[in-house]
Amino acid sequence: MLNRKVLISIIAGILIVSAIILYYNVNPGDSVIMPKCVVKQLTGYDCPSCGVQRALHAVLHGEFSKALSYNPFFVISVPYFLLVLYATIFKNASAQKVRKYACHRYAMYAYIVLFFVWWIVRNIWFKNP
Ligand SMILES: [Zn+2]
């Protein structure tokens, strides 16, 4: 019988691979089935994650400049998310070093502050198409 942690990892892996396959094959900008941003629909303002679906679709097709135009904060955040994921999953010495810096509370606080700064900045200087 699988223990709980292995089962959760398997389910998470299946969900991540399914999402990657979905976002590779469906362009969220052209599709009516993909979810639309509630914040944008209610207020007219972009939320911090507006454009993430289109950016993910563009990244999966190797179109990094297009992805940057949709949501540069997301594209810049991906390496950080991958580091945190690596530090969370693996327990070896290099993962512990990564965890020490990437998962440090100041790194997390900085990311949260940048997230909200990005929210304000994007609605002043960058309007999402
Ligand atoms: Zn949004």
Compute the distance from residue 44 Cα to the ligand 1 centre, in Å.
9
Would you give the distance in Å from CA 34 to the centre of its chain?
Answer: 16
Compute the distance from residue 6 Cα to the ligand 1 centre, in Å.
33
Count of residues in the chain: 129
Digits of tens for pLDDT over the chain (129 positions)? 678 878 888 898 899 999 999 999 999 988 888 889 999 999 999 999 999 999 999 999 999 999 999 999 998 898 998 899 888 888 899 989 989 998 899 999 999 999 999 999 999 987 655
Which structural domain range is residue 50 located in? 4-124
Write the CB contacts of 78 (distance below 8 Å, at least 6 apart in sequence): 59
The total domain count for the chain is 1
Name the residue type at position 101: Y
Compute the distance from residue 45 Cα to the ligand 1 centre, in Å.
8
Is position 129 within any domain? Answer: no
Is position 117 within any domain? Answer: yes
- The number of helix segments (H) and strand segments (E) in the chain equals 7, 0
